[in-house]
Structure 1
Amino acid sequence: MSEQNARLGILLMIATTLVFSVQDGISRHLASEYNIGMIVMIRYWFFAAFVITIATRSSGGLRAAIRTKQPWLQTFRGLLLVSEVCIMILAFVYLGLVESHAVFTCYPLLIAALSGPVLGEKVGWRRWMAIGVGFIGVLIILRPGYAVFSPYAAIPLLAATMFALYGLLTRYAARLDTAATSFFWTGVTGSVAMTLGGIWFWEPMTGPDWGWMAVLCLTGVSGHWLLIKAYDVAEASTVQPFAFLQLVFAGAIGLFIFHETLELHVILGAALIVSAGIFTLWREQQAKRRETRHKIARVRP
Structure 2
Amino acid sequence: MTTAYISRPASAPLVGIGWMVAAGLCFVGMTVLIKSVGAALPAAQTAVLRFALGLPFLLPMLPALARVRLTPSHWKLLSLRAVLHSAGVGLWFFAIARIPLGEVTAINYLNPIWVTVGAALLMGERLPPRRLAAVAAAFIGALVVLRPGLREIDPGHVAMMGTAMLIASGYLVVKRLSEDLPAEVIVAMMSLMVPLGLLPFALPVWQTPGATELILLFAAAGLGTAGHYTMTRAFAAAPLTVTQPVTFLQLVWAVAVGALLFGEPVDPFTLLGGAIIMGAVIFITWREARARRAAIAAAPDALLSRSASGPAARGSSRG
Measure, in 2, the Cα distance between the counterparts of 1:263 and 1:246. Answer: 15
Measure, in 1, the Cα distance between the counterparts of 2:11 and 2:178. Answer: 28
**TM-score (structure 2 length as normaliser):** 0.84
User: Unaligned 5+ residue runs, structure 1?
Assistant: none
Structure 1 residue 62 corresponds to structure 2 residue 57: no
Measure, in 1, the Cα distance between the counterparts of 2:266 and 2:121. Answer: 36
Alignment identity in percent? Answer: 23
Deviations 1:145-176 (A, max 9, x none): 22544444222111111122122221122223
Output the amino acid matched with 2:40: E
Change (3 A) 1:282 1:32: same
Change (3 A) 1:263 1:62: closer
* Residues 43 and 93, structure 2, Cα contact 8 Å, conserved in 1: yes
Measure, in 1, the Cα distance between the counterparts of 2:95 and 2:19. Answer: 27
Change (3 A) 1:66 1:55: farther
Measure, in 2, the Cα distance between the counterparts of 1:55 and 1:17. Answer: 27
**TM-score (structure 1 length as normaliser):** 0.89
Deviations 1:41-70 (A, max 9, x none): 1211233443343232xxxx3323463552
Q: Which of structures 1 and 2 has the bigger CA Rg?
A: 2
* Residue correspondences, number: 296
* Residues 54 and 222, structure 2, Cα contact 8 Å, conserved in 1: no
Which has the larger displacement, 35-44 or 64-73?
64-73
* Residues 28 and 92, structure 1, Cα contact 8 Å, conserved in 2: yes
Measure, in 2, the Cα distance between the counterparts of 1:244 and 1:133. Answer: 16
TM-superposed deviation, 1:261: 0.9
Structure 1 residue 30 corresponds to structure 2 residue 37: yes
Structure 1 residue 258 corresponds to structure 2 residue 266: no
Partner of 1:130: 134
After superposition, the CA RMSD in angstroms is 2.2
TM-superposed deviation, 1:132: 0.9
Structure 1 residue 184 corresponds to structure 2 residue 188: yes
Deviations 1:248-271 (A, max 9, x none): 222222121111112232222222
Deviations 1:50-108 (A, max 9, x none): 3343232xxxx332346355211111112212321221121111212111212221222
Q: Give runs of aligned pairs for residues 128-277 of structure 1, distance below 5 A.
A: 128-277=132-281
TM-superposed deviation, 1:39: 1.6
Partner of 1:18: 25
